[in-house]
Structures are given as C-alpha cells and as structure tokens.
Amino acid sequence: MIFDHKIRRLTKSDAAVYRDLRLEGLEATPQAFTAAYEIESLQPLDWFAERLSRFEILGGALGGGPICGIMGLSIHDSPRKAHMGDVFGVYLQPHARGSGLAKVLLDAVIDLARGRLEALTLGVGAYNEPAQKLYRQAGFRAVALLERELRVGDVYYDEILMRLDLRNP
C-alpha cells in the first residue's frame, strides 16, 4: 500500500500525542531505548512538552491519519560539540513499519541537520537489522560495537554506534 506521508515538527501542543507514542515505544520495545518506561511514565505532561521545545522532534503520519511515528534530533549545547547531533527516540507503531515512514522521517531529520551540523550519530540495536539497513541506505556507517550497552531485566543488548558525515553532499 502506498501512503502519502505527512511529516511535521511536534510542538508543545502535541505533548499528549508525543507522550503516548513515546511511552508506547518504551513499553513495547524497552531494548531499543536507553530511557525507561518506569521512569518516564511517571512524568507530568509538562515534562513531555518541555522536551518538544528543547529538541527537534518530528512526527509522521500515514496519509491523513494520526501521528504514528516519531524521531528526534538533539544538537549538543557545548561549543566543543555543537557541530554534532544525535538522532534519538525513534519509534513507529507496528502498522506503520514497512510503509516507508521511517525513511521519510530520517530524511527529514537529516535535512534539518544538513548545513547546521558536520555529523549525526545514532545508536541502533545490533539485533535490529531492518533499522541498520535503513541507516546504512541513508549513508550512516558503523563506527563502534558497544557490547552489553543496554540491560533490560537480566538480558543484555549490544548496540551499534553509527555516524553520518554531513560535510560532503
């Protein structure tokens, strides 16, 4: 099925939608996030609104439907790292996976960063081959394997650190 993807930056008025998607992702796929559902689910709505003003978080929808995917861009505050950014908080509801929405969100985040940053970095689970493939197709390359980077209960997960050089078109 072909969808007309709609992408936009989320604002404070989207805090409830963002909170619901973020918590859904943290609960459904805890191995994909460094944040924990048990902590973020206790935060008030204003906490999520503040994140939307502090970071550039995009929301994506399939056609005219509701937002069903999120992806964030964090730019470092320190002048020594202000040339770098991180892609973070990626989550798509199951029905949106395989629709091309992740690629459209990633392209939009890269567009936000291009001309402002020299590189983007992200971490992806070593188990998550579809996500690794998406990032490689966008030009990211693996720069490190972080063994046992995340622990969920008694299970450890390796993470691959990937980087996209934005200095060359």
Q: What is the pTM of this model?
A: 0.95
- Domains of the chain listed by start with CATH number: 5-165 (3.40.630.30)
pLDDT at 4: 86
DSSP 68-118: EEEEEEEE--STTTTTEEEEEEEEE-GGGTTTTHHHHHHHHHHHHHBTTBS
Select from 46, 43, 74, 45 the least CA-distant residue to 58.
74
Question: Are 52 and 86 within 8 A, CB to CB?
Answer: no
pLDDT at 63: 87
Q: Over 70: is that where the pLDDT of 3 sits?
A: no
pLDDT at 116: 94
| pLDDT tens-digit readout, 50-76 | 999 999 999 999 988 999 999 999 999
Select from 22, 25, 19, 77 the least CA-distant residue to 45.
19
